[in-house]
Structure 1
């Protein structure tokens, strides 16, 4: 089989199965695992898959920059945000992560809701200026322009000095084995710091993120309270997560 044919075969397998296991492909095609791994490296370099130990997973479309992500499944993000907003109780403290879905959550909060919102996102802080009863605390640090959030040591230290009832966390990848992932190491560390300061953490994940993975792990499933998504409840990934005890809140 020619290299171009192997590439097409791998992409079709990824689309059909949602994963590539290098040893299985090698056995099926009668080639070495090194050849498969080399093909996967080439595909990953083009942004067509996310390499993981033993093979590859679909790459998340949510690793695009902030402006580009605003055009990705906006209706799905609004549905997720509407469900997430119902979890915020009057008088409670909320840690709201950055990102386009979290920005939709800020817009979905009732304007007269009395609450405290802690965020490291300047865009979310600005979006809450017209919520007169919401106290807004902005955590500072180096601004990661790709996602319009504060990251780095100063931001993590600031996060360690707050506490909240609820954290609504954004990720770029949601996968049963790979866990919850994102595309930047410092952003992953910041997300862990935020989640650690809340009694409950729910993950915001519109449908395009389900079954995909990014390079850096944020949290294992046992560290979150549940997942809010607009993906079909019959999606194989959601069925696997439910079987492992993950609470799924469906944003229909």
Structure 2
């Protein structure tokens, strides 16, 4: 089989099965695992898959820059933000992550909702400046421009001095095996620090992130209260997530 044919075969497996297991592909095609791993390295270098131990997973489309992400699945994000905003109770304290989905949640908070919002995102904070009843706290630190959020030691330390009822957290990948992932190590650490300070953490993920993975793990499933997504409730990956005991809240 030619290299181009192997490439198409691997991409087809990712699309159909949601993963590639290198040893299985090598056995099926009668080639070495080294050849499969080399093909996967080439695909990963082109941004077409996310390599993991033993093979590869579909890569998240949400790893592009902040401005570009605003045009990714805008309808799905609107459905997710409405469902997520409904989780915020009157008088409650919310930790709201950064990113385009979190920004949409901030914009979806009802104007008559009295609450406290803690965020490390300047864009989320700016979106809430005109909210008449939301008390606003902005955590500082080095600004990670890719996602327009504060990260690093100063931001993590600031997060350790807060507490909240609810944390709404964005990720770039949601996969039953790879877990909850994002593309930057410091951003992943910041998300863990925020989640640790809330009684409940819900993950915000529009459908294009379901079944995909990025480089760095954010949280294990047992640390998460639920997932808010507009993905089809009968999607195979969503069914696997439910089988893990995860509460999946549909965003209609």
| Contact kept in structure 2, 1:167 and 1:195, CA below 8 Å | yes
Taking only aligned residues, the RMSD between alpha carbons, in angstroms, comes to 0.5
Deviations 1:148-191 (CA, angstroms, capped at 9, x unpaired) = 00000000000000000000000000000100000000000000
Equivalence map 1:1-252=2 (5 Å) = 1-252=1-252
Distance in 2 between residues matched to 1:83 and 1:126, nearest whole Å: 22
Secondary structure at 2:62's aligned position in 1?
helix
* Structure 2 gap segments, 5+ residues each: none
Distance 2:81 2:141 in 1: 26
**Cα distance in 2, alignment partners of residues 183 and 243 from structure 1:** 26
Q: CA deviation at 1:243?
A: 1.1
**Shift of the alpha carbon at 1:130?**
1.0
- Whole-Å Cα distance in 1 between the matches of residues 110 and 243 of structure 2? 34
Matched positions, count? 252
Alpha-carbon separation, structure 2, partners of 1:251 and 1:5: 39
Aligned-pair CA distance for 1:111: 1.1
**Could you tell me how far apart the structure 1 residues matched to 2:108 and 2:238 are?**
25
Partners of 2:120 and 2:51 in 1: CA distance: 30
SS of the residue 1:111 aligns to: coil
Confirm or deny: 8 A CA contact 1:172 1:213 kept in the other structure: yes
3-state SS, counterpart of residue 143 of structure 1: strand
- SS of the equivalent of 2:135 reads strand
| Distance in 2 between residues matched to 1:221 and 1:181, nearest whole Å | 11
User: After TM superposition, which residue ranges in structure 1, 4 or more long, deviate above 6 angstroms?
Assistant: none
State the shift of 1:132 in Å.
1.4
Unaligned runs of 5+ in 1: none
1:17-54 Cα offsets, whole Å, 9 max, x none, are: 11000000000000000110010001001100000011
CA distance in 1, matches of 2:50, 2:81: 27
- Answer yes or no: is the 8 Å Cα contact 1:111–1:130 preserved in 2: no
